[in-house]
A and B are shown apart, each in its own frame.
Chain A
């Protein structure tokens, strides 16, 4: 019982048709520690966690949990045993209360009917235990992403979790919220809970974890003690090669102004937004979650309606009513919500790549098979999209490869004004560096690029200019020569 390890996964193998997802992977998890699991997209992290959660049955290998071997269990049984997970994309029922969501499927009954009061009381206790003062009567849809995450964690705690798996917990929350999350994790640790922490963010991993296990291409590379490791070492282990530098050198030449917006407004979301953009320039947008960055880009691109303001392209007043207008005016958008807005998941790579530019490449009503195949092959090669064929459904690709398909769409559109909203969210270092390179090349080609990002280093590394937003308002603008992380952060927090 008092084994040091709560979990020992040994020599786990799992194959899918055409792919060896896991090959002899080991994971040893100590009680009361945070264990980071790292690797590039497609390295096998998610598959390994799905094996642990009982969603996949491994082809071979042993799982020893709390001193005894377990096999062939369902996800429900895993949760009851205390193996729980907070998902990357949180699943919840928006029109139910916090308490109802937490006790979904195991409602507290009184005389055969649901006892709402008891549930709320219990939910309140659990939330308090993870240090969140949240009213359990609130509807789930009214909470922020980070609050929903806290609810999920409280839910895990309620199962007497021995293991909590966190998949990219900080990809959608602010730095302040990250602090709170970490203090909750430290509390859990102190109670003997083991946490498996999956993240692409190096600094976070170094800060919160006790041990790091690294996977590459479905194989186990090594487990390190966090004390004995640094970012460079992790990167080398993850990609199997030295990344000379994450950000490419900039050679872009800034030309004529081609895009300008004046006094853009969307009631209650943003107002007084004016900026301009030149050929070959990379303009960054910084700000906290909810600062209105994504919303401005959606409105410029015609997904949401503007309540006021003017858009000028090449000095000409242009009205953009829908994305079709934007595409015709050679504006392209990489949406931050890859699965929700960026891609049609049940369609093939090829069909996704050409979806927004069929009118551009094909006159008449027919889509030419040969030409379309050429276009798709070109993008797959250019972006090094890893897939068995261009007919592969996009839903079966890893996050990084999905993002490359989104970028491929944009390249085929041959837009001259490129808006990239969180272009590297949730993808690994290797793929990130490829995307940075691509962005710089596009600017060198004379494209005007807007990059929206929550990662400050990304903006500092890429942009020629950065605009900071706070609660839908422009706080300030800095040129590259005056870049200073502290000033930007102060503006973002409106201090």
Chain B
């Protein structure tokens, strides 16, 4: 009898170890990556370098966190990069010195993103068109729009108060290391989204729709509304990323953001979110973004040519997902 119980608890332990591995596999990968890079490059393990990496990933992390919503419902958003461009340009137009308070360009950027999200969301949810196609179309609309309103040129001469969003630091007086504002924004977005996905009814509905849309509908979930809203959140956050981007480079650049959506989706998928929806976490997404950031940073420090960097990054993305799929398939 007791032996039996013992065997059972042993089995449960093994089960725990296994599920722990599949649950925290990505985190373990991040730690291993950090350890390897610490050994390989002397300059890696420094507060300054870490803050640098976090700041570098802050824009793509905000995009990836937004994309997590869409991917969780089984959709995809390919328009992120182009939306970053048009929202950045829109914000920059309202960010010339002495015209409006800084809050105006920020809200304009996010607002333009929200409008794009509504447009995508209505077509996806109400007309049932695949998000892949809709967002592909929106990519060229947004890109063309960005060039149009910027008249094909970068929008420069921005208010320093606006640029502070991208380059400002908190603390860091006289030779000390400051804490970049961009990282604060990213962390705030992360915490809010973590709360929404884990603690609210809305978050539950997002997972339910991704897991089984018909069952969610039959359970009384307003599927259309929730589906629409994930695109609004995703594009709205892309608008915020556009503002961050414009403030960071101190110019509204209509040609920026090419390929940003791919880094964002890569972060989401490396973080363990299933492209078919219903499964995934925003913590995973943040870790995914960090993995990509540290790989870029480490390869820079190792003086690897940027051509090789691209190839290596692609291979690591595929490898990470393969590993994830394998650990989850094991029975």
Report how far A261 CA is from B148 CA in the complex, Å.
58
User: Of B8, B212, B215, which is in contact with the most chain A CB atoms at under 10 Å from its CB?
Assistant: B215
State which size class the interface on A falls in: 35 or more
B214 sits at the interface (CB 8 A): yes
B239 sits at the interface (CB 8 A): no
Report how far A362 CA is from B199 CA in the complex, Å.
12
With known contacts A16-B331, A18-B15, A355-B221, A340–B200 Cβ distance under 8 A: no
Q: A367 touching B212 by the CB < 8 A rule? A: no
Stretch from B36-44, B165-173, B202-210 contacting the other chain: B202-210
Q: A367 touching B214 by the CB < 8 A rule? A: no
Q: B211 touching A346 by the CB < 8 A rule? A: yes
Q: How distant is B238 from chain A, measured CB to nearest CB, in Å?
A: 23
B311 sits at the interface (CB 8 A): no
Residues of A within 8 A of B149 (CB): none
With known contacts A18-B11, A409-B219, A358–B204 Cβ distance under 8 A: yes
Residues of B within 8 A of A172 (CB): none
Cross-chain contact of A344 among B200, B202, B216 (Cβ < 8 A)? B216
Q: A301 touching B218 by the CB < 8 A rule? A: yes
Q: Which of A152-189 contact B (CB under 8 A)?
A: none
With known contacts A365-B201, A367-B199, A347–B217 Cβ distance under 8 A: no
Cross-chain contact of B222 among A324, A328, A333 (Cβ < 8 A)? A324
Interface string of A346-384 (1 = CB under 8 A from B): 110001001110110010011101000000000000000
Residues of A within 8 A of B202 (CB): 365
Smallest Cβ-Cβ distance to A372: which chain B residue: B204
A327 sits at the interface (CB 8 A): yes
Cross-chain contact of B215 among A18, A344, A354, A362 (Cβ < 8 A)? A344
Report how far A87 CA is from B199 CA in the complex, Å.
39
A275 sits at the interface (CB 8 A): no
Report how far A346 CA is from B19 CA in the complex, Å.
15
Residues of B within 8 A of A454 (CB): none
Smallest Cβ-Cβ distance to B198: which chain A residue: A367
Report how far A15 CA is from B218 CA in the complex, Å.
36
Q: B220 touching A347 by the CB < 8 A rule? A: no
Smallest Cβ-Cβ distance to A369: which chain B residue: B199
Smallest Cβ-Cβ distance to B212: which chain A residue: A344
Q: How distant is B226 from chain A, measured CB to nearest CB, in Å?
A: 12
Interface string of B17-59 (1 = CB under 8 A from A): 0110000000000000000000000000000000000000000
Residues of B within 8 A of A75 (CB): none
A323 sits at the interface (CB 8 A): yes
A448 sits at the interface (CB 8 A): no
Residues of A within 8 A of B12 (CB): 17-18, 388
Cross-chain contact of B220 among A327, A341, A388 (Cβ < 8 A)? A327
Residues of B within 8 A of A343 (CB): 212, 215
Residues of A within 8 A of B147 (CB): none
A345 sits at the interface (CB 8 A): yes
B145 sits at the interface (CB 8 A): no
Report how far A369 CA is from B217 CA in the complex, Å.
23
Q: A355 touching B219 by the CB < 8 A rule? A: yes
Q: B278 touching A346 by the CB < 8 A rule? A: yes
Cross-chain contact of B219 among A356, A367, A369 (Cβ < 8 A)? A356
B279 sits at the interface (CB 8 A): yes
Cross-chain contact of A322 among B11, B201, B208, B217 (Cβ < 8 A)? B217
User: Of A15, A345, A351, A358, which is in contact with the most chain B CB atoms at under 10 Å from its CB?
Assistant: A358
Q: A358 touching B201 by the CB < 8 A rule? A: yes
Q: Which of A405-461 contact B (CB under 8 A)?
A: 409
State which size class the interface on B falls in: 20 to 34
A56 sits at the interface (CB 8 A): yes
Report how far A22 CA is from B221 CA in the complex, Å.
39
Residues of B within 8 A of A327 (CB): 219-220
Residues of B within 8 A of A17 (CB): 11-12, 14-15, 18-19
Q: A340 touching B214 by the CB < 8 A rule? A: yes
Q: B15 touching A351 by the CB < 8 A rule? A: no
Smallest Cβ-Cβ distance to B224: which chain A residue: A322
Q: How distant is A12 from chain B, measured CB to nearest CB, in Å?
A: 16
Q: How distant is A303 from chain B, measured CB to nearest CB, in Å?
A: 6
Q: A355 touching B204 by the CB < 8 A rule? A: yes
Q: A367 touching B207 by the CB < 8 A rule? A: no
Report how far A326 CA is from B208 CA in the complex, Å.
19
Q: B200 touching A367 by the CB < 8 A rule? A: yes
Q: B220 touching A344 by the CB < 8 A rule? A: no
With known contacts A323-B217, A342-B218, A347–B208 Cβ distance under 8 A: yes
A335 sits at the interface (CB 8 A): yes
Report how far A335 CA is from B279 CA in the complex, Å.
24
Q: B200 touching A347 by the CB < 8 A rule? A: no
Smallest Cβ-Cβ distance to B274: which chain A residue: A346
Q: How distant is A445 from chain B, measured CB to nearest CB, in Å?
A: 22
With known contacts A346-B279, A365-B201, A365-B202, A335–B218 Cβ distance under 8 A: yes
With known contacts A18-B12, A323-B220, A333-B218, A345–B212 Cβ distance under 8 A: yes
Q: A347 touching B207 by the CB < 8 A rule? A: yes
Q: A351 touching B218 by the CB < 8 A rule? A: no
Residues of A within 8 A of B8 (CB): 18
Smallest Cβ-Cβ distance to A326: which chain B residue: B220
Report how far A409 CA is from B15 CA in the complex, Å.
28
Cross-chain contact of B278 among A16, A301, A344 (Cβ < 8 A)? A344
Q: How distant is B224 from chain A, measured CB to nearest CB, in Å?
A: 10
Q: Which of A286-307 contact B (CB under 8 A)?
A: 301, 303
Residues of A within 8 A of B219 (CB): 323, 327, 355-356, 409
Report how far A80 CA is from B221 CA in the complex, Å.
46
Report how far A356 CA is from B212 CA in the complex, Å.
13
Residues of A within 8 A of B18 (CB): 17
Which 6 pairs show the lowest CB-CB distances between chains A and B?
A17-B15, A356-B219, A344-B211, A324-B220, A327-B220, A344-B212
17 A-B contacts (beta carbon < 8 Å)? A15-B11, A16-B331, A17-B11, A17-B18, A303-B218, A322-B217, A322-B220, A322-B222, A341-B212, A343-B212, A346-B279, A347-B208, A355-B216, A355-B219, A356-B219, A356-B221, A367-B201
Q: A335-B218, A346-B279, A355-B215 are in contact. List 6 more A-B contacts (CB 8 A).
A: A15-B11, A341-B215, A342-B215, A345-B211, A355-B221, A358-B201
